[in-house]
Homo-oligomer: A and B are copies of this chain.
């Protein structure tokens, strides 16, 4: 299923490198070494090089990497040079924050349809989009050829929303609900483990007192 087994962690770090490269580029530098990238990312420089080499040879010995070229390359590798139509399910507190976040559009994720099951909300507009009834998720996203779904419903409704999204032909899900979604193979789920992170923080704080 995975092509040539590139570690998930490497893919995630690619995103970090891209962000750092942007900062370096905006500061006016044209080249950067793996050592500097590593330092800024809090990593080992060999790891930076290994990560990049999974995707091609971008560096020049003695000089490092062309900042803008590498930034462009990573953008393309990650598929962030093309627009992706997205649907949002659950227009609650978090859903509305996501809707207002310009970072989605900047990365080419265009929110095309938003859904809720609350009849107080359905029909109203948010950020220029009419909130649609969750009953129509699959038909609406088929119509709009949506490829990615965001789940920001309560956990109890998350599997239901996922099923509807998949029925509508979606291929990837960004899941904010604290629940393990069951999806057929071929569907990519990325969990934003917000609650887990919170609890990890609690663990590391409470442990401190024992030391």
State whether A211 touches B178 (Cβ < 8 A). no
User: Shortest distance in angstroms between A69's beta carbon and chain B's nearest beta carbon?
Assistant: 19
State whether A203 touches B94 (Cβ < 8 A). no
Interface of A is mostly: helix
CA distance A82 to B147 in the complex (A): 43
State whether A3 touches B97 (Cβ < 8 A). no
Interface-lining segment among A11-19, A28-36, A111-119, A129-137:
A11-19
Measured between beta carbons, the chain B residues less than 8 angstroms from A12 are: 193, 196-197, 200
State whether B203 touches A78 (Cβ < 8 A). yes
CA distance A15 to B78 in the complex (A): 30
Q: What copy number does this chain have within its complex?
A: 2
State whether A207 touches B148 (Cβ < 8 A). no
Interface residues of A in 190-209 (CB under 8 A from B): 190-208
Contact of A108 among B147, B178, B180, B202 (CB under 8 A): B202
Is A8 positioned at the interface, with any CB of B under 8 Å from its CB?
yes
Measured between beta carbons, the chain B residues less than 8 angstroms from A210 are: 3
Interface-lining segment among A45-53, A59-67, A98-106, A159-167:
A98-106
- Chain A residues proximal to chain B, CB less than 8 Å: 3, 8, 11-12, 14-16, 18-19, 40-42, 77-80, 82, 84, 93-94, 96-97, 100-101, 103-104, 107-109, 147-148, 171-174, 178-180, 188, 190-208, 210-211
6 closest A-B pairs by beta carbon, nearest first, are A79-B206, A93-B97, A15-B199, A97-B97, A15-B196, A188-B204
